Structure 1
Amino acid sequence: MSDGPLVVIGDALLDVDVEGDAARLSPDAPVPVVAVSAERARPGGAGLAALLAARDGAGVVLITALGDDADGHRLCGLLSQELDLVGLALRGGTVRKTRVRSGGQTLVRLDTGDGRAARCAPTPRAAEAIAAAGAVLVSDYGRGVAGMARELLRDTDVPVVWDPHPLGERPVPGCALLTPSEAEARAWCRSGYHGPDQAARHLVRELRAGAVAVTTGERGAALAVGDGAPTRVPSPLRARGRDTCGAGDRLAGAVALALLAGAGVEEAVTTGVAEASRFVERGGAASVRVREQRLGDRPRTALEVAGLTRALGGRLIATGGCFDLLHAGHVSLLRRARALGDALVVCVNSDDSVRRLKGPARPVVDVHDRVEVLRALGCVDAVAVFDEDTPAAVIEQLRPDVWVKGGDYEGEALPESEVLGRIGAEIVVLSTLPGRSTSNLIREIR
């Protein structure tokens, strides 16, 4: 059993179910009229596999390409609360699959988005995640993410489960297990398909894998391990007529978690088949509920903004101060700080912290009001309050790319310099507007 997390690598999609009642036909065409009662979104593809694994209690890191569009932001918000995201660049629009459903049946599916992972070297964060993995699941949906990780996976010594796609990457040699569906196995067997048992045995040799499990729906899976004869892993349930959407993702994730826990391949596949069967019996992907968090939602915590920004490959800016009696100098500094990146978090001294730094007569404005005023600024994405004399602890939590200070600190050693150096954050000093300060305002008021 490894202490490392399960790292899922693959193409995350946005799945949306539009549910309603289809009790009548349209008067202008012989098609059902769906009276929409609900719309539910969830991650699809590698995102679903990672989410379900995380809900099993495992530490999960998902490496995927995320689009900087409305659907990409929505997908990011669905994932970021339950697992760690490592975002890669996506070219094109986020792939979205919208199913119109009634009475538990899908009437039509609408696919939009042409996004593919941008062709570039994996990011350092992706490399670090794979190096620390206890097991790896590659959930390939043919959108390019799996190809970016091939070189990094060649040297890994942890179990790799590869869920292939006919339009995707050829699995790296040495995978512990491949989990194609019967249709996918048929597509991979270019020399001819002769049933799932022979396909599993053929693909072990052809793709140089430790084992292959060809999934066959309610019949379970055909498993070939090494040079041994294929065996059948039956499903414990017969969920005939049920919605099987997401069953393959559930099986692959459960198998990977079993291998991470130290199970052998046959035991892991048996576990995966059982979990996938139960998943289908409970309603499949349509039964998955995820609380949505969107980048435009307010209020947002500083840690949420930091995580979402990193997941989208953005540049996080942070700054700190008392911000007592907010004035034009503060606003100028914050606007220019926000222009340096993709999100700005303001770290604010608590009332006790201000008193220790400024004396018993400060702050003039209590922390609740200071936070509310800062949050109302369009250039501020989130506010974090800290009670210490320096923002070092909150900086370590947020891990910003850039820390901004006002020009009055130029040339001075910052008390937070040590933590900024440790996390590799850049320090930017911005000039302040002359004559604008809280102390001057207080003097004038008095």
Structure 2
Amino acid sequence: MLSIPSFDAARVLVVGDVMLDRYWYGDTARISPEAPVPVVRIADEERRLGGAANVALNLARVGVQARLLGVVGRDEPAQAARAMLAAAGVEADLIESASHPTIAKLRVMSRNQQLIRLDFEQSFAADGAFDREALYSRYVQALAHTDVVICSDYGKGTLIQVERIIAAARDAGVPVLVDPKGQDWQRYAHATLITPNLHEFESVAGGVVEEGALQTHADELRARLDVEHLLVTRSEKGMSLFSPAGHLHLPAQAQEVFDVTGAGDTVIALLAAALAAGRGMGDAAAIANLAASIVVAKLGTATVSPAELERAARTGHSERHGVVDEDTLITLMNDVRAHGERVVMTNGCFDLLHPGHIAYLEAARALGDWLIVAVNDDDSVRRLKGASRPLNDLDHRMQVLRGLGAVDWVVPFSEDTPERLICRLCPDILVKGGDYRPDEIAGGDCVRAAGGEVRVLDFVDGFSTSAIIKRMNSGRE
């Protein structure tokens, strides 16, 4: 199961475009006589932090020590943003612009539908819009107390000096993550990681019609920009992480997508939080993927809590249990191994499940993090045990096994031995019960050649399927 770390000691600095999102809610009952547009009777108003401020808020919600550097105007939206950041526990260091307003977006909502969005903004990229040296000076000072930097670029001009910001972080040995914007990604060269969505990625790296093209374009882009990692978010297809160690795909976990607003903010925030908490990049990506599945089920820019992450991690783990085919099993194994988890495998007929089976499977599961049970299909059982077996067909046997707490995945095979299947899966630990020697176990050579180990476990005395059947038959006589 994916474990969620404590983020309390993690320190993350966010630099980028600060926004204020406003929502007006009301009922729509008629069309305006002035124009063919709905009339909305506003009944409620809500304000939320957006852009880089939402990234900082996501960090604070999970307990990270979050600091925010950005630019705002001298206006009421700036005051509102400052108050909301302070209430959330974010240390906000905001440069004021005397000439430009705070970036604000107004969304008119009716019956959970967005009718229109109104943007109030002027680009801070213009000369004299804000004191660039003051922002950079405060940034350099903050680096000494930072584990990870996030550059949250919405193209509004705050990150006009992003090259200097990245260079200073790398010089200080601090990882820097970038949420990119626009077509000129050379500005983000030498970052630790960039996190585009698939549309943004294709607009810069080239179209993707199949998985091979995605891998090729990603590797070319990483090399061209000299970035260590590239995380491409792919909507309903999940997200893909490209790193020097290889490619990791994380399937989408959301059951229902309600609103994707701010999901990218959550992804980069939780990536940074996990890295600052000491997790590796693969594990951090898995935590970010889990967080994204939570926020897209909420309306508007949203955040997650540690309790929600813990609950989703438990649920996600249970949903990945069960009867699977070989191809699906390989994908699942690749995912859990990317998080440093060990896979154990055993096999058998499991015709009549008895206490000896239970004890054996629990002992096998204790050797690693995940347990695969490969089950002989009905024809192979008949070849091994005789025409009267199995007593229970394959589907029934697999369903009983999948209900055991010790068993994660159940997969069928049709051969007399599971050697082909074991050599394809190559578990970290192969287990067999009884009086076998390790070198006699089918598939053991493949497992050892791949760096795994083969173990023999004792069965509990006094239990066997054949003995149970014999007693049943003797009772009928």
Higher helix fraction: Structure 1 or Structure 2? 2
Instruction: Give the gaps of 5 or more residues in structure 2.
Output: 1-6, 305-477
Instruction: Quote the offset at 1:218 in angstroms.
Output: 2.5
Verify the 8 A CA contact 2:27 2:111 in the aligned structure 1: yes
Pairs aligned (count) = 286
Shift in Å, 1:285: 1.3
CA deviations 1:269-295 (Å, max 9, x no partner) are: 11101101101113341689xxxxxxx
- Residues 239 and 170 from structure 1, CA distance in 2 versus in 1: closer, same or farther, beyond 3 angstroms? farther
Moved over 6 A (4+): none
Q: TM-score, normalised by structure 1?
A: 0.59
Q: CA RMSD in A?
A: 2.5
1:205 aligns with 2:185: no
Contact preservation (8 Å) 1:93, 1:113: yes
Deviations 1:84-117 (A, max 9, x none): 0112243522211111111111111111121416
Match in the other structure for 1:40: 46
Please show how residues 35-434 of structure 1 align to structure 2 within 5 Å. Answer: 35-81=41-87, 82-90=89-97, 91-116=99-124, 118=130, 120-121=132-133, 122-148=135-161, 149-166=165-182, 170-189=186-205, 196-226=214-244, 228-240=245-257, 242-285=258-301
Shift of 1:172: 4.0
Deviates more, 1:17-26 or 1:5-14: 17-26
Cα gap change, 1:24 to 1:15, in 2 (>3 Å): same
- Tell me the CA shift for residue 20 of structure 1: 1.1
* Counterparts of 2:290 and 2:34, CA distance in 1: 46
In the alignment, structure 1 segments of 5+ residues that lack a partner are 289-446
CA distance in 2, matches of 1:2, 1:205: 35
Q: Deviations over 1:118-160 (max 9, x none)?
A: 3622354322112210111111111222233344324131222
Q: Is the 8 A contact 1:140 1:169 kept in 2?
A: no
Q: Is the 8 A contact 1:11 1:140 kept in 2?
A: yes
**1:48 Cα shift?**
0.3
**Is 1:12 matched with 2:36?**
no
3-state SS, counterpart of residue 145 of structure 1: coil
Which one has a bigger Cα radius of gyration? 2
Percentage identity across paired residues of the two chains: 32
1:170 Cα deviation after fit: 4.1
CA drift of 1:258 comes to 0.6
Aligned partner of 1:216: which letter? R
Note if contact 1:26-1:32 (Cα within 8 Å) is conserved in structure 2.
yes
Distance 1:198 1:72, change over 3 A: farther
1:222–1:11 Cα change, 3 Å: same
Is the Cα contact below 8 Å between 1:233 and 1:273 reproduced in 2? yes
| Contact 2:176–2:192 under 8 Å retained in 1 | yes
State how far apart, in whole Å, the 2-side matches of 1:279 and 1:193 are: 26
1:253 deviates by: 0.2
Distance 2:108 2:32 in 1: 16
Say which SS state the counterpart of residue 261 (structure 2) adopts.
coil
- C-alpha distance after superposition, 1:282-333 (max 9, x if no partner): 3341689xxxxxxxxxxxxxxxxxxxxxxxxxxxxxxxxxxxxxxxxxxxxx
Q: 8 Å contact 1:243–1:283 — kept in the other structure?
A: yes
**Is residue 22–residue 48 contact of structure 2 (8 Å, CA) maintained in 1?**
yes
